[in-house]
Structure 1
Amino acid sequence: MSDLDEQVGADPEVSGDADEAALDVRTLPGGLPAALEAVLMVVDEPVTEVALATALEQPVDTVREHLVALEADYTASERGFTLRQIAGGWRFYSRAELAPVVEKFVLDGQQAKLTQASLETLAVIAYRQPVSRSRVSAVRGVNVDGVVRTLVSRGLVEEVPDPGDGGAALYATTPYFLQRMGLDSLDDLPALAPYLPDADVIDELVEEGHS
């Protein structure tokens, strides 16, 4: 090995380890606060302080201080969004005071009518609630993840606690669904349930889909 090879091999800045060097977010534009905002903008559920600290390679206490400071800054500047700590983690939310605006846009905004796929999925949830997405998919024969998200965003369906130990997210209709349907309760739904597959049949379809 030549002297040059020895020098290159001994220099960590030109070795393979350099590719794995940690990224110091503090040197990026906006520093750690901007890095936190960037990460939180792409999540769809609350993220813990530990997870954020690990991803950004910063102390948990430092991350917590910046999160609290960001929340205070958004509140003081009366932005349309805020940063909230909920369910053990942090996530962006629209401000509570602006809920009427968001509700109007989501429920009466870009699409006045539901698609056929949305109507079919909504019917299955209404008659089989609480029900998981996998079971709804089994009834309809197609993946319904995107459709369920649409129904949730329109305020017609919501996620509800699982009374058992299955752990799967369950969905049910909302009071707004009854309002839009002109019903006092779910008991007023037309008697279509007998035409849907029994729970045992749905379970078999779900298992076949996972096999």
Structure 2
Amino acid sequence: MPADELVVEPPLAARRLLGATLWSGPVAVRIVEVEAYGGDPAGPWPDTASHSGRGRTTRNAVMFGPAGVLYVYLSYGMHRCVNVTSGPDGTASAVLLRSAEVIAGLEQVRARRPTARTDADLARGPGNLGSALGITLADYGTPLFDPRSAIRLELGGALPAEAIASGPRVGVSTAADIAWRFWIPSSPAVSAYRRSPRAEPF
């Protein structure tokens, strides 16, 4: 089962998602930037920056389920952020999809993102990626490896270590210096790093 490849610790799951293809209807993107997130203190990957860092809620419940499921949430009341659950069933973790390159349905994405200056900007940043794919909160819980799903994930082959860069996550105020952000440096769609002004100093 493809989902089994994500039943691993968060950083490894994040790396395995780089280069993967995510389909939403006729639109497809190649994932080029991700961030890994762990779970609550009782689990193997405690992470205070994670939505599941304080335990299970209605909002984050899918993070505690099986790997390969879509976790969508609203950021700042407007941005639909797209995540893929990872780790074993019952242990919270997920990978935030931060940026991607549009590889199918380009005209449809341009219509959804009329303010994008270039095609590289269409799915750069988690909110823009969600908009480019037309994903909504109603898609929460979609099994991404089910061929009947409207939103489907296709994992690519493992990228060589030299093709992946890593660094701290963007915009988190706690656990800000954990290098759980991964990206493909050769891609023009990768977003810029922005440290949260609320983060503790290095």
**TM tier relative to shorter chain:** under 0.3
Tell me the TM-score normalized by structure 1.
0.19
Tell which has more relative contact order, 1 or 2 (C-alpha 8 A, sep 6+). Answer: 2
The structure with the greater share of residues assigned to strand is 2
The structure with the greater share of residues assigned to helix is 1
| Structure with greater Cα Rg | 1
